[in-house]
Structure 1
């Protein structure tokens, strides 16, 4: 108690001195007397109010800082997990059931599929269908003509020649969905067999798409240079979604560097 009383007296004394200094140059009638406890009490109350306001402001700022620190910590943890986990964007390795060794991990392998090559309302993209489908509770809805359709896929030859492996004409196409282990981006580059600086090659092969005169739209995909046939698949001509090699056509396409009717390569790169 004695220590607290001494501290209070010291504070009051300092306050008195400050008030005297502030008013020492004013009129004599306005000078503050050290013996005026009412005025001192008013000033003390005012200062306490300002101090409380300042403390509340500091506390609010501390709460904001703690919130920001929490957000930063959360982002750092997520980044750390991402770095530990590695990887990010997935890609499809067309024509293979496995993924590039050491660089990626296999998510699943399956069957290449898509729309029928001659349907005008066909979906454009190739898809990699899993080997273990979950057909779901609505699989037995009544069939009608108002639906999209899914088919398997086959390699097609050009005048008996195909870049997708020997005797691959009409063979069914496998696929593998791959996830990079320590890369976050994947990029398919047409007409290249190597990656640009700063990128790592996953695989290279032949550019493929649907045949130009067919009704159905398609997309360009990269079929692995060591393409396989689907295990257990036949070589009967069942059609479906078709893989044709892609030839360059000069005109709006600059030649050189491209050459008329030359087949195009492709590469999938990681970063």
Structure 2
């Protein structure tokens, strides 16, 4: 307890004692009161230190318990600070199938099959993904297969932010890139995914046009989407961010 505050409290206590005992408060009583205040000050400091230790321990436990995963599209490894759970092939439904599943998935490179159910009478199908980036900044990737990696991080609340490649305050950037999806004229529904801004091709990829599920850049279309701030035809950026206060 700071000395000035201690003296002020002491004077208040002395005033109270004078009111109770009149002017009979002597130096011995003053010393006892002052010692009591000093002891209280030490106890408060001790309690405050213990409280801070408890807060620090809780924060460490919270940090250790807060984990999450995300898919890094367009790369076969995870960024610094993240652990690669597995890497694989980006995949989805064929672009003209009307009964297609809408989501993209990251297929393992090490498949394991149960031969007991190897040939069902009816089934759905999964296809690999190709970059459809002809005459763009990624022209060299056109028709190449898309890789992916599942990443584990010691942070929580992973979000994909479309429209910007910056993360908000208290969020850490996992990676940044461009929003991609299937073509608007194709039959099959797809989802929007954030493809890394420095993409690579999948292992064993060839530049053969085999179709499957396709990754196209997403561009702004003015109308119900306000321009400004958006601009017609501009490629939409994105960022994958994790909560890191």
Common topology (TM > 0.5): yes
Pairwise CA distance, 1:161: 2.1
Give the conservation status (yes or no) of the 8 Å contact 1:162–1:169.
Answer: no
Q: Give the corresponding residue for 2:148.
A: 175
> Matched residues in 2 for 1:81 and 1:248: separation?
43
Pairwise CA distance, 1:80: 6.9
Q: 1:132 aligns with which of 110, 116, 122?
A: 110
Instruction: Pick the structure with more strand per residue.
Output: 2
Equivalent residues in 2 for 1:64-75, closer than 5 Å: none
Give the conservation status (yes or no) of the 8 Å contact 1:247–1:261.
Answer: yes
Give 5+ residue unaligned stretches, structure 2: 1-57
Pairwise CA distance, 1:184: 1.2
Q: Give the corresponding residue for 2:179.
A: 207
Equivalent residues in 2 for 1:82-121, closer than 5 Å: 83-84=63-64, 86-102=65-81, 104-121=82-99
TM-score between both structures, scaled by the size of structure 2: 0.72
Equivalent residues in 2 for 1:230-245, closer than 5 Å: 230-245=202-217
> Matched residues in 2 for 1:162 and 1:90: separation?
31
> Matched residues in 1 for 2:156 and 2:240: separation?
13
Pairwise CA distance, 1:82: 6.1
Q: Give the corresponding residue for 1:148.
A: 124
> Matched residues in 2 for 1:206 and 1:108: separation?
22
TM-score between both structures, scaled by the size of structure 1: 0.65
> Matched residues in 2 for 1:222 and 1:200: separation?
16
Greater Rg, structure 1 or structure 2?
Answer: 1
Pairwise CA distance, 1:81: 6.2
Give 5+ residue unaligned stretches, structure 1: 1-77
Give the conservation status (yes or no) of the 8 Å contact 1:88–1:179.
Answer: yes
Pairwise CA distance, 1:89: 2.2
- CA RMSD in angstroms comes to 2.0
Give the conservation status (yes or no) of the 8 Å contact 1:156–1:162.
Answer: no
Q: Does 1:263 align with 2:239?
A: no
Q: 1:187 aligns with which of 138, 142, 159?
A: 159
